[in-house]
Amino acid sequence: MLTYIIRRIIIAIPILFGVTILNFLIINLAPGSPVDIMIDPNLPPEALEAQKEALGLNDPFYIQYWTWLLNLFQGNLGYSLVTFQPVIDIISERLGPTILLMLSALIFGLLIAIPLGILSAIKQNSVIDYLATGGAFMGVSIPNFFLGLGLIYVFSLQLGVLPSGGMHTIGAESSFWDTALHFVLPVIVLATAIAGKKIRYVRSSMIETLGQDYLRTARAKGLKETIVVNKHALRNALIPIITVIGLEIPLLFAGAVVTEQIFSWPGIGQLTISSIMSRDYTTLMGLNLIAAFIVLFSNLITDIAYTIVDPRIKFQ
């Protein structure tokens, strides 16, 4: 078990390096060097050249990468090209709201998907099954920005029951209830896509489990159907679902970019868009790097969790 975890971490290391290399390559694709932006354009060319030399911008590519990597390991992601603040500070300020939003959406999405998926597997070809499957298709096919705008239109503008954006009411004293209300619409938008994907996954996993021999045995020994389903089938059907939760994290980040933009959510999604608008490439690459780290880390956790819940996994 321990050796498996260690091996899994060792596999993650080259991927981590790959992520930093790809990240660095893309930064270097960006037009203009940082010097052009940060330094007075009226400077004579020789002085500019001297500055570049001093900053190491004339070094060969691999040395620049190495310097950048060393800085990275000290938690230095460089400075914003716009505000000149350290990128790591800008991002850590924004990370909390995004993670809170993503986690709420993940939990809410699963709370919808798991019961619905199981119901439609138990009652195949029933009305519930058709509704759940239809809803699942709808959930994956509706663009999050269209759903978000539709929800704002109905619940904020027509009915006036929910706030249309932000995390707190501006000017008001922040209370738990106020923040909770602000969570409702963005969480629904993000959870819809998750639930849409997961309903069908839970359904097929459950159908496969229901066909297993040990369930026939359980029924044969006279157990009630509810016990067969809830105690014997459910546990085993949920195992593969754990593995795919990790796969949702990149999707959640992507969803967060659009959702945060629509709902003016003060997270890293909105920061991504504003950095693109202001061509703040260092912040952008910091954002991508942090997101990729979180994805890698969550994949690692999922793999380990999988081996804990399913003892049948062999550690080769």
The residue from 56, 150, 166, 211 that contacts other proteins (CB under 8 A) is 150
**Near other proteins by CB under 8 A: residue from 68, 101, 262, 270:** 262
Residue in 29, 127, 172, 220 binding other proteins, rule: CB under 8 A: 29
Of the listed pieces 63-71, 145-153, 174-182, 201-209, which binds other proteins according to CB under 8 A?
A: 145-153
**How far is 146 from 205, CA to CA, in rounded Å?**
30
Contact yes or no for 291/79 (Cβ under 8 A): no
Part in contact with other proteins (CB under 8 A); list of ranges 41-49, 77-85, 104-112, 141-149: 141-149
Q: Which stretch binds other proteins (CB under 8 A): 1-9, 41-49, 58-66, 246-254?
A: 246-254
275 burial type by CB count under 10 A (0-12 exposed, 13-18 middle, 19+ buried): buried
Per-residue binder mask for other proteins (CB under 8 A), 154-193, x = binder: ---x------------------------------------
Tokens of 64: 């620049």
From 35, 122, 296, 305, residue interacting with other proteins (rule: CB under 8 A): 296
CB atoms within 10 A of CB 72: 17
Neighbouring CB atoms inside 10 A of 199's CB total 28
Q: Does the footprint of other proteins cover residue 284 (CB under 8 A)?
A: yes
Q: How many residues bind other proteins (CB under 8 A)?
A: 46
Q: Looking at 98, 258, 265, 267, which residue binds other proteins (CB under 8 A)?
A: 258
Residue 26 engages other proteins in binding (rule: CB under 8 A): yes
User: By CB under 8 A, is residue 295 in contact with other proteins?
Assistant: yes
Position 222 contacts other proteins (CB under 8 A): no
138 binds other proteins (CB under 8 A): yes
Q: Is 305 a residue that touches other proteins (CB under 8 A)? A: no
Q: Name the site residues for other proteins (rule: CB under 8 A).
A: 14-15, 18-19, 22, 26, 29-31, 137-138, 140-146, 149-150, 152-153, 157, 249-251, 253-254, 257-258, 261-262, 272-273, 276, 279, 281, 284-285, 287-288, 291-292, 295-296, 299
